[in-house]
Amino acid sequence: MGREIIVGEKAGCCFGVKRALEIAGATREKYQGPVYTLGPLIHNPAVVENMKEAGIIPCESLEEAEPGGVLIIRSHGAGPEVFTAARRRGLRVVDATCPFVRHEQKLAARLHQEGYKVVVVGDPGHAEVQAVAASVPGGAEIIDPAAVKTGEAKISLPARVGIVCQTTQTQENLAGVISAILPGIKELKVFNTICSATVERQREVYDLACRVDILLVVGGRNSANTRKLAEIGSSLVSTYHIEGVEEIDPRWFRQKRVIGVTAGASTPREQINAVIDWLEENLQEEWT
């Protein structure tokens, strides 16, 4: 019996990433001058490199962008002070923030207006989490679910707390933070801002991992949602997180008949297809 390759139906770019890439491409075509992104537009090194070749340059600070150029706000969003500073520098601003992230920012600001201490559940180093926190006047409290799990989180909150959540977190992580803070507060308002596409992908990778002998998760290592898919897969089956076909080791597939392939929300279809093509071209029918 030959090998079987099963590809996740939800694998690949989500709505927000596709939209950001389309906006970036259209912006590059429309404007002749320099086009920048503040940080990588999406968390996929190969895509960012291709964009650089097309003349869309990621910069680490606004000072790197020449006045008169165009600044694309990446899919993870930015705080209002970034928009203001960019325009003051003489940059034309094009907003490619994912609509779900923008909604999260608006909910966080609303909670602040209603008198709640705003808590953002997520990775403190993630661009989206930082952008959401920056949308709250005076800032927000960021609670890292990983620190809550290990008991390292130091949490001190007032009586009234309002929560939003990084769109690529898991429901388990959100629930864990809620459970941790609930005993110490009097009133809690929660907006579950986890993206439905994230939930669907995580459910699918769980089901897929239960059906295969080995799982490949394709996407940038700097992609939080891709790492989470790999983490779920690893809890169930031999799982490898790869950015491209050049990282594949044929030895992984010894004694493995059914191969699963999925990908993060920042992984274009052509990268997934390249992995599938490699598997079909390089693995022999005989698998023992």
CA 225 – CA 136 distance, rounded (Å):
24
The pLDDT of residue 252 is above 80: yes
pTM of the prediction? 0.87
| Domain 16-98 grouped into CATH 1.20.120.160 | no
Q: Output the pLDDT for position 224.
A: 87
pLDDT of residue 284: 62
Query: From the candidates 29, 104, 114, 128, which is the catalytic residue?
Result: 128
Q: What percent of the chain is modeled with pLDDT above 70?
A: 98
Q: What is the average pLDDT score of the chain?
A: 94
Give the bridge partners for 5, in sequence order: 259
pLDDT band at 283 (very low <50, low <70, confident <90, very high): confident
| For residue 102, pLDDT beyond 80 | yes
Tens digit of each residue's pLDDT (9 = 90 or more) over 150-165: 999 989 999 999 999 9
Q: What is the mean pLDDT of residues 121-136?
A: 96
Cα–Cα separations (whole angstroms), residue 215 to 37, 136, 208, 252, 264: 33, 40, 8, 10, 13
Residue 86 has a pLDDT of 98
What is the third-level CATH fold of 4-12+197-282? Cobalt-precorrin-4 Transmethylase; domain 1 (3.40.1010)
Q: Answer whether 115's CB lies under 8 Å from 89's CB.
A: no
Delimiting residues of CATH 3.40.1010.20 domain(s) in the chain:
4-12+197-282, 100-194
pLDDT of residue 8: 97
At a CB cut-off of 8 Å and minimum separation 6, what does 42 contact? 17, 20, 21, 48, 74, 75, 266
pLDDT band of residue 285 (cuts 50, 70, 90) is: low
Mean pLDDT of 16-30: 96
| pLDDT, average across residues 27-48 | 94
Q: What is the mean pLDDT of residues 117-136?
A: 97
The pLDDT assigned to 201 comes to 93
Residue 259 pLDDT > 60: yes
Residue 36 phi/psi, 5° resolution? -125, 160
Verify whether residue 60 is a known catalytic residue.
no
Would you say residue 286 has pLDDT above 90? no
| Residue range 266-277, pLDDT digits in tens | 999 999 999 999
Intervals of CATH 3.40.50.11270 along the chain: 16-98
* pLDDT greater than 70 at residue 287: no
**End-to-end Cα spacing for the chain:** 10
Q: Is domain 100-194 in CATH 3.40.190.10, yes or no?
A: no
Q: What is the pLDDT of residue 79?
A: 95
Q: What pLDDT digit, counting tens, does each position of 173-202 carry? A: 999 999 999 999 999 999 999 999 889 999
